[in-house]
Amino acid sequence: MSNSILFHSLSVTGFDHLRWDWSGEQLATESICRKKNGFECPTCRSCNVTPTKIGHRKIRASKIGRDNWVLDVTSHRIRCHDCSAYRMESLPFLSHPKSRITLELERTILELRQEMSISAIAKHFDLDWRTVKEVEKRNLSRKYRTVSLVGVKIIGMDEIYIGKQKYKTIVRDLETGRVLHVGNGKGGDALKDFQSKLKHSKAKIEVVAMDMSSGYAAWAKENLKESTIVFDHFHVIKLMNEKIDKVRRRTANELEEKDLKALKKTLFTSEK
């Protein structure tokens, strides 16, 4: 395989093709090494460096035809004579230094993810499903690192239970359905970061919908003084039913046996 095919097929530049091995079972290994004049300091980008070969690193690449490809990269440690740094060389075709798959393969996974499940993609590329999941998580983290609050007027907040006595607080834009904030825990402490976002965005929140949690209500009264607090009807009706049930039980304890029979089965009335 020539350097040209290495670039056009796997999007790898600045490296020389050494050899390739095909072990069968639709798996091929491509041995590559950085070009002699291509070394630079990862810290200051100086080319006044001395590379030292320390071993090999295997990186999964995209498919070529029906074969899965593995890049066998010769690894070097770089000593910079300008800033005195002594670090591992950086590989430009990786999304982060510890990645085990190429950036091109990550892009392909994200494109296929719109039509295929995580397990189907993992099987197609012969990857662990956790690898595919981590690619998607990193992409979502980059995509939603900053969420715009411009034009947001009506929000809703609630907590969800995630197990082991832990909660997450979710804030959503009730007009578009967008998730605006996810905080650890529940109550006002889980909304500190969201409070900072509100101050910087200068968003004018008109309505805040929530359950009847005192923690959320206290936070809204303190930080969104001009907003209207709306309690969702489920919790309001639940509270009313609990109050009515208490009154019925108290009344039942005061009635005689003959009157108690008339009170039974009257919690829900039906019209004929």
Q: What does pLDDT average to over the chain?
A: 86
Percentage of the chain modeled with pLDDT above 90: 36
Q: What is the pLDDT of residue 186?
A: 86
Task: Give yes or no for residue 271 having a pLDDT over 60.
Answer: no
pLDDT in tens, 99-117: 999 999 999 999 999 999 9
DSSP per residue, 143-167: HTSS---TT--EEEEEEEEEETTEE
3-state secondary structure of 200: helix
Task: Give yes or no for residue 267 having a pLDDT over 80.
Answer: no
Mean pLDDT of 213-236: 87
The architecture CATH gives domain 146-260: 2-Layer Sandwich (3.30)
Task: Give yes or no for residue 232 having a pLDDT over 80.
Answer: yes
Mean pLDDT of 14-33: 79
DSSP 8-state class, residue 189 = G
Percentage of the chain modeled with pLDDT above 70: 92
Q: What is the pLDDT of residue 80?
A: 93
H or E stretch including 77? strand 67-80
Q: Tokens 């006002």 label which residue? A: 188
130: how many CB neighbours lie within 10 A of its CB?
10
Task: Give yes or no for residue 256 having a pLDDT over 80.
Answer: no
CB-based contacts of 186, cutoff 8 Å, min separation 6: 159, 167, 169, 213, 215
6: how many CB neighbours lie within 10 A of its CB?
20
The pTM score is 0.65
Mean pLDDT of 94-101: 90
Q: What is the pLDDT of residue 116?
A: 94
The β-bridge partners of 179 are: 172
Q: What is the pLDDT of residue 262?
A: 67
Q: What is the pLDDT of residue 251?
A: 79
Task: Give yes or no for residue 77 having a pLDDT over 90.
Answer: yes
Interaxial angle between packed helices 118-125 and 129-143, expressed in degrees from 0 to 180 and rounded to the nearest 10: 120
Measured over the CA atoms of residue 45, residue 50, residue 54 and residue 60, the dihedral's sign is: positive
User: Which of 7-11, 132-136, 216-220, 260-264 reaches the highest mean pLDDT?
Assistant: 132-136
Q: Which carries the bigger pLDDT value, residue 22 or residue 77?
A: 77
The structural domains of the chain, with segments of one domain joined by +, span: 1-93, 97-145, 146-260
